[in-house]
Amino acid sequence: MDITSLEKMITTGRDSAMLRLSLARALAQEDRVSEAVKHLEAAVEMNPDYTAAWKELGHQYLADKRSEAARKAWEQGLKVADKNGDKQAGKEMTVFLRRLNKRSSPPRT
């Protein structure tokens, strides 16, 4: 679906966390990262147990150069994944966090 159709679904009362995730992914493909973040934040507010939205939110925060926000999103996503038994998403977010920590840590001398 295109962005316009997804936005229309929101305005006509068919809003949902899954719809927001789909819209955010479409916006991100067009490098509209700040808009994608807004919709992902809405998605996790609507459904705090939506693992996929937390995972994507971390990616979009990172794309927006907000590494600390990405870390927090993935940490929350890990908690949700553990709670929901979503092992694969948990493994993925663990890898993302490990990579982020490597980037953030000072070089060893």
Summarize pLDDT for 75-107 with one digit per residue, the tens.
999 999 999 999 999 999 999 999 999 987 666
Number of domains in the chain: 1
Q: What is the CATH number of the domain that holds 52?
A: 1.25.40.10
CA distance 94 to 106: 20
Specify if 37 maps to a domain: yes
Q: What is the DSSP letter of 65?
A: T
Q: What is the DSSP letter of 105?
A: S
- E runs forming strands in the chain: none
Residues 6+ apart with CB under 8 A from 67: 61, 100, 103, 104
Q: Domain residues for 27?
A: 3-104
CA distance 76 to 98: 15
Burial of 72 (0-12, 13-18, 19+ CB in 10 A): middle
Specify if 109 maps to a domain: no
* pTM greater than 0.85: yes
At residue 73, the pLDDT reads: 98
Nearest to 92 by CA among 50, 54, 47, 62: 54
Across the range 21-49, mean pLDDT stands at: 97
